[in-house]
C-alpha cells in the first residue's frame, strides 16, 4: 500500500522536511518526498499496513504545528512518483525546541533531562554548552521569581528581564509568557485560531486583550492589549515548568532595562534576534514584526524598500508574477495606495491615499471652504465645543507621509480623543478605543474618492466630516472609533470588488503594518476572501523590511 501525505506548507525553513526524513528512517518503508511550490508531499510504501499505521501515528507526534502550515491530508494512491528530493545544506533558522527534543529534556529517565543545551538538526539556536542536568539552576531561579525578584536572564536569542506580574513591571513595556495555552485562553479573548497559532513551533507573540486583574498596587490594565506567547527557548521553558510547580503560570518579559536582583547567564547567546509577532484570522496569518526563526533572518545587506517592495515580495513569495494582482499597501509609516500589477501593463497606482495638511486649522478651513454644509458643520462643532475647538486649532503637524493611519490621527485629535500632536500616537488612541468596543457594529464613516488631474485619491475631508457629525450626535468614543476602522475595511472591500469587475484581477495582496490591528486584519481576511484570492506575506514582516529585491526590476 502507498500513502500520500500532503502539506500545504508555506515555509522554506525545511523544518518539516527534516522531521519527516528523520521519522521515516525509524521505519521499514520505501519513501519519497516531493516539493511543488507551497505543497509538500510525502509518499510511503509498505506491504505491512500495521507498519504504515505506526508510522502515521509517530509522524503526527513528531511534527509540530507550524504557523506556515495551512492544510494536511492523507490518501491512498496507486503509484510511487519518481522523486529526487535532496535536503539543501544550509544553516537552520533559530527556532524553539521540536517535540522530540522537548520530550527528551522533560523525561527524567533521559540523559538530556533538563539539559538546556539539548537540540537537534531541526531545532535550537546552535549554542554549545556542557551536557548535564541544569535542574537545580532552574529550581532556584523559579524560587527567586516567586519571591518577587526581578531576573536579568540570557535567553538563547538575547538578554531580557523577567519577573512576576505586578508592580515590578508597572510602567514598563512588557510581554507575557504563559506556561500553557489553557492559561492564555482563560485570561484573554483569544480566538481558537489564535490559540492554535500560539502553540506552533515558531511560538509567535500575539497581541490580545486581557482580563487579568493584577494584585498589589498595579493599575488596572484590563483595557490594554498585551502580547502573549509561550516559551520559545529552553531557558524560558524550563523556568516556566518550575514556576508552574509553584503555582505561577504567567510572568512578564521585557527588553527594557530594569533594576534586577538576580542575574542568570547560563547561556551565552550567539546573536540577538527579535521574536516574531503575528496577527491571526480564521483564514490567514501574517507576520507583523520580528525575524527570529525566519529563513530570511540570515540575509545581510538589508535595504528598506517599503510599499512597492513589500507588494512584490508577496507576489514573488506566492508565484503570482503571471497574474493580475491588486496590491493594497496600508503601512502606518509610509505612503499608502492600491496598486494593480499585470504582466501586460506593468504596475499602475490605481488609487492613492496621499494628502497633505499643515495643521488642524488647515483641515477645518478646508472643510469650511468645501461647501455650505461643510461650513455649517464646522460652525456647529465650534459652538458645541468652543474650548476644545480653540485648543485643537493651535495644533500644527510635523509629518512627511500622510496616510490612512495619520488620517485616523487627525480624526482622533478633532474628536478630542487625543491631546497628542503626533498623528501616529493619536491614531493609536483611536485604535485602542476601537479594540475596547464590545459591540459588533459602529456608525458608517464615509471613505470617498476624488479625482485630481486624472489621478484618484481618497478624500480625507469626507472621513473627518462624517466623524465630526457623529460626535455632534453624541456617539461615544468606543463606538465611533470602531466605526472609523470598520468602515475603512468595508471601503477597501468595495474597491477591490470594483477593480476585479473592471480589470479582471486574479488575486489581492495586502501589505503594511496597519495589518497589526487585529480587528482590521480579521475583518479584512473574512470580507475580502469572499470574492478574491487573498494573500499576505509568507516569511517576511508585513512592512517589507529586510527585503533584498525591490519592484523596480519589474517596471
Ligand atoms: Zn529538536
Pairwise CA distance, residues 300 & 91, whole Å: 14
- Give me the pLDDT at residue 478, please: 95
pLDDT band at 483 (very low <50, low <70, confident <90, very high): very high
Sign of CA dihedral 346, 307, 401, 465: positive
Q: What is the DSSP letter of 180?
A: -
Pairwise CA distance, residues 383 & 130, whole Å: 74
- Give me the pLDDT at residue 306, please: 55
CB atoms within 10 A of CB 251: 25
For 94-122, give the DSSP string: -B---HHHHHHHT-TTSTTTT-TT---SS
- Give me the pLDDT at residue 294, please: 83
- The whole-model pTM stands at 0.85
With CA atoms as reference, report the closest residue to 471 among 405, 382, 392, 409: 382
Of residues 404 and 439, more confidence is placed in 404
Cα 146 to ligand 1 centroid, rounded to whole Å: 30
Q: What would the mean pLDDT of 481-504 be, rounded to a whole number?
A: 96
Cα 19 to ligand 1 centroid, rounded to whole Å: 9
Give percent above pLDDT 90 in the chain. Answer: 75
Cα dihedral 357, 372, 487, 527 in deg (nearest 10): -110
Sign of CA dihedral 7, 9, 13, 15: negative
- Give me the pLDDT at residue 169, please: 86
Q: What is the grid cell recorded at 380? A: 456647529
Cα 155 to ligand 1 centroid, rounded to whole Å: 17
- Give me the pLDDT at residue 303, please: 42
The H-or-E segment that residue 533 falls in is strand 533-535
Cα 110 to ligand 1 centroid, rounded to whole Å: 14
Cα 10 to ligand 1 centroid, rounded to whole Å: 20
Cα 118 to ligand 1 centroid, rounded to whole Å: 8
The number of angstroms, rounded, from the C-alpha of 188 to the middle of its chain's C-alpha atoms is: 17
Q: What would the mean pLDDT of 19-34 be, rounded to a whole number?
A: 94
- Give me the pLDDT at residue 214, please: 55
Strand partners for 35: 40
List the Cα angle 461/534/206 in 5-degree steps: 80
Cα 74 to ligand 1 centroid, rounded to whole Å: 25
Q: What would the mean pLDDT of 46-59 be, rounded to a whole number?
A: 94
313, pLDDT greater than 90: no
470, pLDDT greater than 50: yes
Q: What would the mean pLDDT of 218-242 be, rounded to a whole number?
A: 84
548, pLDDT greater than 80: no
495, pLDDT greater than 90: yes
pLDDT band at 233 (very low <50, low <70, confident <90, very high): very high
- The three-class DSSP label of residue 488 is helix
91, pLDDT greater than 80: no
- Give me the pLDDT at residue 361, please: 97
Q: Which residues contact 324 (CB under 8 A, 6 or more apart)?
A: 340, 341, 342, 344, 503, 504, 505, 506, 507
Cα 298 to ligand 1 centroid, rounded to whole Å: 20
217, pLDDT greater than 60: no
pLDDT digits (tens, 9 = 90+) for 100-149: 999 999 999 999 999 999 999 999 999 999 999 999 999 999 999 999 99
C-alpha Rg value of the chain to the nearest Å: 26
Cα 294 to ligand 1 centroid, rounded to whole Å: 17
Cα 364 to ligand 1 centroid, rounded to whole Å: 60
Cα 151 to ligand 1 centroid, rounded to whole Å: 27
Cα 35 to ligand 1 centroid, rounded to whole Å: 22
Q: Is the distance from CB of 521 to CB of 279 less than 8 angstroms?
A: yes
List the Cα angle 157/68/311 in 5-degree steps: 95
- The three-class DSSP label of residue 368 is helix
Pairwise CA distance, residues 417 & 433, whole Å: 9
Cα 15 to ligand 1 centroid, rounded to whole Å: 10
Give the ranges where 63-199 is alpha helix by DSSP (H).
99-105, 135-146, 181-187, 192-198
Question: Per mean pLDDT, which of 205-219, 356-370, 540-554 is the most reliable?
Answer: 356-370
Cα 97 to ligand 1 centroid, rounded to whole Å: 5
pLDDT band at 544 (very low <50, low <70, confident <90, very high): low
The H-or-E segment that residue 534 falls in is strand 533-535
Q: What would the mean pLDDT of 475-497 be, rounded to a whole number?
A: 97
For 219-270, give the DSSP string: PP-TTSEEEEEE--SHHHHHHHHHHHHTT--EEEEESS----SEEE-S---S
Q: Is the distance from CB of 352 to CB of 340 less than 8 angstroms?
A: no
- Give me the pLDDT at residue 546, please: 40
Of residues 445 and 317, more confidence is placed in 445
Q: Is the distance from CB of 5 to CB of 59 less than 8 angstroms?
A: yes
- The three-class DSSP label of residue 318 is coil
Q: Name the region of 346 (left: φ>0; alpha: ψ -120 to 50; beta: rest).
A: left
Q: What would the mean pLDDT of 411-419 be, rounded to a whole number?
A: 95
What rounded mean pLDDT belongs to the chain? 90
With CA atoms as reference, report the closest residue to 182 among 202, 170, 166, 198: 198
Q: Which residues neighbour ligand 1 (ion) by CB within 5 Å? A: 98, 101, 120, 122-123
- Give me the pLDDT at residue 301, please: 34
pLDDT digits (tens, 9 = 90+) for 318-376: 889 999 999 999 999 888 999 999 988 888 899 999 999 999 999 999 999 999 999 99
Cα 295 to ligand 1 centroid, rounded to whole Å: 17
491 phi, psi to nearest 5 deg? -60, -45
Q: Is the distance from CB of 126 to CB of 270 less than 8 angstroms?
A: yes
547, pLDDT greater than 50: no
Q: Is the distance from CB of 117 to CB of 131 less than 8 angstroms?
A: yes
- Give me the pLDDT at residue 48, please: 93
Cα 103 to ligand 1 centroid, rounded to whole Å: 9
Cα 121 to ligand 1 centroid, rounded to whole Å: 7
Cα 126 to ligand 1 centroid, rounded to whole Å: 11
What length is written for the chain? 555
Place of cell 487627525: 410
Helix, strand, coil: what percent of the chain each, to 5?
35, 20, 40
Q: What would the mean pLDDT of 489-512 be, rounded to a whole number?
A: 95
- Give me the pLDDT at residue 146, please: 96
The domains located in the chain, with CATH, are 2-77 (3.30.70.600), 99-277 (3.90.870.10), 282-349+495-554 (3.30.420.560), 360-491 (no CATH)
Pairwise CA distance, residues 186 & 173, whole Å: 22
Q: What would the mean pLDDT of 452-460 be, rounded to a whole number?
A: 91
Q: Is the distance from CB of 297 to CB of 93 less than 8 angstroms?
A: yes
550, pLDDT greater than 70: no
Pairwise CA distance, residues 405 & 209, whole Å: 21
Q: What would the mean pLDDT of 213-233 be, rounded to a whole number?
A: 70
- The three-class DSSP label of residue 31 is strand
Cα 104 to ligand 1 centroid, rounded to whole Å: 9
Q: What is the grid cell recorded at 517? A: 490591528
Cα 41 to ligand 1 centroid, rounded to whole Å: 22
534 phi, psi to nearest 5 deg? -110, 130
Cα 517 to ligand 1 centroid, rounded to whole Å: 33
Amino acid at each position: 500500500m502507498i500513502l500520500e501525505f500532503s502539506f500545504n506548507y508555506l515555509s522554506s525553513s525545511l523544518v518539516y522536511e527534516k522531521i519527516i526524513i528523520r521519522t521515516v528512517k525509524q521505519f521499514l518503508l520505501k519513501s519519497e518526498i516531493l516539493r511543488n511550490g507551497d505543497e509538500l508531499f510525502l509518499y510511503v510504501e509498505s506491504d505491512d499496513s500495521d507498519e504504515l499505521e505506526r508510522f502515521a501515528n509517530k509522524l503526527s507526534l513528531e511534527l509540530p504545528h507550524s504557523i506556515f502550515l495551512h492544510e494536511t491530508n492523507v490518501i491512498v494512491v496507486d503509484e510511487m512518483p519518481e522523486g529526487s528530493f535532496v535536503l539543501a545544506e544550509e544553516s537552520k533558522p533559530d527556532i524553539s525546541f521540536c517535540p522530540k527534543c522537548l520530550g527528551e529534556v522533560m523525561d527524567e529517565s533521559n540523559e538530556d533531562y533538563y539539559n538546556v543545551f539539548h537540540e537537534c538538526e531541526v531545532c535550537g539556536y546552535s549554542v554549545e554548552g556542557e551536557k548535564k542536568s541544569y535542574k537545580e539552576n532552574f529550581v532556584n531561579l523559579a524560587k527567586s521569581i516567586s519571591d518577587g525578584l526581578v531576573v536579568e536572564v540570557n535567553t538563547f536569542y538575547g538578554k531580557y528581564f523577567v519577573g512576576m506580574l505586578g508592580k515590578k513591571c508597572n510602567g514598563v513595556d512588557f510581554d507575557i509568557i504563559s506556561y500553557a495555552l489553557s492559561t492564555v485562553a482563560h485570561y484573554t479573548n483569544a480566538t481558537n485560531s489564535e490559540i492554535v497559532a500560539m502553540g506552533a513551533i515558531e511560538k509567535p507573540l500575539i497581541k490580545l486583550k486581557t482580563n487579568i486583574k493584577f494584585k498589589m498596587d498595579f493599575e488596572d490594565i484590563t483595557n490594554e492589549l498585551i502580547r502573549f506567547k509561550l516559551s520559545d527557548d529552553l531557558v524560558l521553558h524550563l523556568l516556566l515548568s518550575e514556576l508552574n510547580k509553584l503555582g505561577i503560570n504567567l510572568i512578564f518579559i521585557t527588553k527594557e532595562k530594569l533594576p534586577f536582583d538576580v542575574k542568570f547567564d547560563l547561556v551565552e547567546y550567539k546573536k540577538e534576534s527579535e521574536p516574531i509577532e503575528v496577527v491571526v484570522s480564521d483564514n490567514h496569518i501574517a507576520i507583523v514584526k520580528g525575524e527570529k526563526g525566519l529563513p530570511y533572518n540570515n540575509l545581510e545587506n538589508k535595504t528598506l524598500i517599503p510599499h512597492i517592495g513589500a507588494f512584490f515580495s508577496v507576489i514573488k513569495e506566492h508565484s503570482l508574477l503571471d497574474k493580475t494582482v491588486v496590491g493594497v499597501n496600508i503601512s502606518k509609516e509610509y505612503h499608502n495606495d492600491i496598486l494593480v500589477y499585470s504582466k501586460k501593463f506593468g504596475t499602475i497606482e490605481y488609487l492613492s491615499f496621499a494628502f497633505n495638511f499643515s495643521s488642524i486649522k488647515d483641515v477645518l478651513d478646508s472643510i469650511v471652504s468645501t461647501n455650505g454644509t461643510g461650513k455649517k458643520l464646522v460652525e456647529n462643532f465650534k459652538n458645541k465645543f468652543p474650548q476644545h475647538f480653540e485648543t485643537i486649532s493651535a495644533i500644527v503637524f510635523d509629518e512627511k507621509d500622510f496616510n490612512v493611519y495619520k488620517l485616523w490621527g487627525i480624526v482622533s485629535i478633532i474628536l478630542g480623543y487625543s491631546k497628542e500632536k503626533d498623528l501616529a500616537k493619536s491614531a493609536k488612541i483611536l485604535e485602542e478605543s476601537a479594540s475596547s468596543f464590545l459591540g459588533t457594529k459602529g456608525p458608517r464613516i464615509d471613505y470617498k474618492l476624488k479625482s485630481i488631474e486624472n489621478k484618484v485619491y481618497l478624500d480625507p475631508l469626507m472621513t473627518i466630516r462624517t466623524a465630526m457629525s457623529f460626535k455632534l450626535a453624541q456617539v461615544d468614543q468606543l463606538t465611533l472609533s470602531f466605526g472609523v476602522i470598520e468602515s475603512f475595511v468595508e471601503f477597501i472591500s468595495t474597491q477591490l470588488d470594483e477593480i476585479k469587475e473592471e480589470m479582471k484581477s486574479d488575486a489581492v495582496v495586502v501589505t503594511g503594518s496597519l495589518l497589526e490591528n487585529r480587528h482590521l486584519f480579521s475583518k479584512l481576511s473574512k470580507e475580502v476572501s469572499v470574492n478574491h484570492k487573498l494573500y499576505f506575506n509568507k516569511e517576511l514582516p508585513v512592512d517589507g523590511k529586510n527585503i533584498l529585491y525591490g519592484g523596480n526590476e519589474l517596471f
